[in-house]
Amino acid sequence: MRSKRAPAWYPRSVRIEDYALIGDTQTAGLVSTAGSIDWLCLPRFDSAACFSALLGTDDNGRWRIAPAVPTTAVRRRYRPGTLVLETEMTCAEGVVRLVDCMPIRDRTPDVVRLVEGVRGRVPMHMDLVLRFGYGCDVPWVHRVGHDLRAVAGPDSIELVTPVATRGQDFRTVADFEVNAGDVVPFTLRWHPSHELPPPDLDPVGSVADTAAWWEEWTGAGRITVENDRWRDAVERSLITLKALTYAPTGGIVAAPTTSLPEQLGGVRNWDYRYCWLRDATFTLYSLMLAGYVTEAKAWRDWLLRAVAGEPSKLQIMYGPAGERRLAEYELPQLDGYEGSTPVRVGNAASSQFQLDVYGEVMDALHQGRRVGIEEEEFAWGLQCALMDFLESAWREPDEGIWEVRGPRRHFTHSKVMAWVAADRAVQAVAHFGNQGPVDHWRALRDTIHHDVVTNGFDTERNTFTQYYGSKEIDAALLMIPLVGFLPPDDPRVLGTLAAVERDLTTPEGFVRRYVGADTDEVDGLPPGEGAFLPCTFWLADNLALVGRHAAAAALFDRLLSLRNDVGLLSEEYDTKTKRLVGNFPQAFSHVSLVNTAHNVSAGVKSPARFRETGAAGEAG
């Protein structure tokens, strides 16, 4: 529900897919088709939001610039190869273009908005509602020269514009007109309240500089996929991954948002502004495939720093700088996206024991060696310590890749990833000359492999199962051929693929994570989530590996059709309402898009084939 102060014609609900991303590689904001920035955390991805209307009402903070009269059409795009957003709004009086970006920061973050007159004379209205602390802290606003400064506790924001503004009901508003050819700038500048504000910037010049920065970054990559449509999708996904990178450390957050629901009106609303280890190898591949070696190395280095320490305390996720304490709490002042409560900050799943992350870390470091990323001196010692812990820990039950908040089980995918850890340790000795007890690790690898095929496979149904003793399946089992545990044409793999297609695939062709994910109470929470997009990409990867190229390409095109008008994906898709759901945009979805584009393209390097053949010579 939007604020009652909004005009009657203002949209009362903004779909997740109607948002676009702007960012400066340290934080990011979401801009709606109505010209409103409804989500922005400053100064970092995981900082408290100063605009929280996405999860509440306009009174929880937002910044809208739009025609003061009803619009008849909205068209938007990113400038090619950039994260500079252009939203063109048409009304009876004419056409205006709103240009939004966050300049790559020097010291502090800025948001720059330009209102450009395209045709006619258009009356405009600006409404700035600053609410620090996730929508509940109203700042003290005062003038400093021609500028406005808003202060609350540690935060200070300045609004710089030539347009006359006024205070109204604890918000800042302005009315102005734009003629064809006019350019009217607005700049929002954050800084710590105990420091002097940063020097003024040229808003028009900063937009040009920001576009040039992104163009240079995009131009440094190389994308080799089957057709131009796929190439454009891959480029936009890579730009999105760069935007979700916390530049000071190289960490990549899963999404810039918290609590966008997995089902509209549901309770599965989690904070994704952190870095997940499960994404490590996929992310490294997606960056290396496009030639972004610097970013891949930065991600690998972040990984090493984050996991350094006692192996038994390895977490599944960390903060953007590697923070370990991600305490979860709720924000009762926010009504939730379309009533989806509670709104959560922090993530209690960070304390779960997930066996698969040991395999992800070992695999990411191994693949880094394979693609030639320079070795860090302490990396191998860290891996040996992980293996020492894993030698006994692999037999323990865990919470599994999907962070089910229920009893620990012997999840089949978790055991497969324990096998991956042992296999990559063996390969590090056999192929890269590292020193270690290779015969012992080979024996461990064989023991885990035997355990999985014995206890995790249902001979009656001819499929691997979600966990030992279960009759259900899990989309994570699609990873079995992708990591080289078994070859793609193994009858057990083919049986599992058939089971996923039969039992987990929706009539629209998208994959659910596991049976009951959308209908049953499986972890103490009410049911409800959409089809999981990364798993659907994995299905396309499997189809390509077994030679069903036409089906793989068709599924990939179907996934591309779910992107919004500016090429962004969330984590899930609700097939009933035909809407994107979950946190947005989702790094895991875009990483999967990049990799699958290569897997289904003929005659290009396939990350799935590259990864699974890496173990073929040693797997047995």
Chain CA centroid to CA 19, Å: 14
Contact 462, 492 (CB under 8 A): yes
Q: CB atoms < 10 A from the CB of 553, how many?
A: 20
Our CA angle for 296, 327, 397, nearest 5°, is 75
* Total count of residues recorded for the chain: 620
Q: What are the Cα distances from residue 382, in Å, to 306, 417, 608?
A: 12, 18, 26
**pLDDT tens-digit map of 328-357:** 999 999 999 999 999 999 999 998 999 999
pLDDT band at 615 (very low <50, low <70, confident <90, very high): low
pLDDT band at 620 (very low <50, low <70, confident <90, very high): very low
**pLDDT tens-digit map of 30-72:** 999 999 999 999 999 999 999 999 999 999 999 999 999 999 9
**In this predicted structure, what is the pLDDT of residue 529?**
75
Q: Which of 173-182, 279-288, 454-463, 600-609 has the lowest mean pLDDT?
A: 600-609
Res. 8: pLDDT tops 70: no
Percent of the chain with pLDDT over 70: 93
**In this predicted structure, what is the pLDDT of residue 603?**
66
| Structural tokens at position 358 | 């040991």
Res. 118: pLDDT tops 50: yes
**In this predicted structure, what is the pLDDT of residue 6?**
41
Helix (H) or strand (E) holding 539: helix 533-545
Res. 617: pLDDT tops 60: no
Res. 522: pLDDT tops 50: no
pLDDT band at 520 (very low <50, low <70, confident <90, very high): very low
Torsion of CA 591, 597, 598, 599, to 10 degrees: 100
What's the whole-number mean pLDDT along residues 146-151? Answer: 93
Q: How many helices (H) and strands (E) does the chain have?
A: 16, 26
**pLDDT tens-digit map of 234-261:** 999 999 999 999 999 999 999 999 999 9
**In this predicted structure, what is the pLDDT of residue 4?**
35
**pLDDT tens-digit map of 287-342:** 998 999 999 999 999 999 999 989 999 999 999 999 999 999 999 999 999 999 99
**In this predicted structure, what is the pLDDT of residue 604?**
66
Q: What are the Cα distances from residue 542, in Å, to 138, 332, 506, 556?
A: 52, 43, 17, 12
For every residue of 398-441, DSSP letters joined together read B-TTTT-SS--B-BHHHHHHHHHHHHHHHHHHHHH---S-HHHH
Res. 408: pLDDT tops 60: yes
Q: pTM for the full model? A: 0.94
Percent of the chain with pLDDT over 90: 85
**In this predicted structure, what is the pLDDT of residue 281?**
85
The CA distance from 219 to 290, in Å, is 11
Our CA angle for 302, 307, 310, nearest 5°, is 155
The CA distance from 276 to 289, in Å, is 20
pLDDT band at 405 (very low <50, low <70, confident <90, very high): low
Q: Mean pLDDT over all residues of the chain?
A: 92
**pLDDT tens-digit map of 469-487:** 999 999 999 999 999 999 9
What beta strand segments (E) does 435-582 contain?
457-458, 463-464, 531-532, 572-574, 579-581
**pLDDT tens-digit map of 525-538:** 444 578 999 999 99
**In this predicted structure, what is the pLDDT of residue 377?**
84
**In this predicted structure, what is the pLDDT of residue 5?**
41
**In this predicted structure, what is the pLDDT of residue 226?**
79
Helix (H) or strand (E) holding 307: helix 293-307
Q: Which of 90, 133, 100, 98 is nearest to 115 (CA)?
A: 98
| Structural tokens at position 560 | 């591309």
**In this predicted structure, what is the pLDDT of residue 526?**
44
Q: What are the Cα distances from residue 491, in Å, to 461, 464, 504?
A: 12, 11, 19
Which pairing describes strands 110-129 and 172-179: parallel, antiparallel, or unpaired?
antiparallel
What CATH fold (topology level) applies to the domain 16-206? Beta-galactosidase; Chain A, domain 5 (2.70.98)
Q: Which of 531, 574, 538 is nearest to 555 (CA)?
A: 538
Res. 136: pLDDT tops 70: yes
What's the whole-number mean pLDDT along residues 421-429? Answer: 96
Q: Which of 31, 104, 106, 611 is nearest to 367 (CA)?
A: 611
| Structural tokens at position 446 | 């064989």
What CATH fold (topology level) applies to the domain 228-615? Glycosyltransferase (1.50.10)
Sorted by where each begins, the domain ranges of the chain are 16-206, 228-615
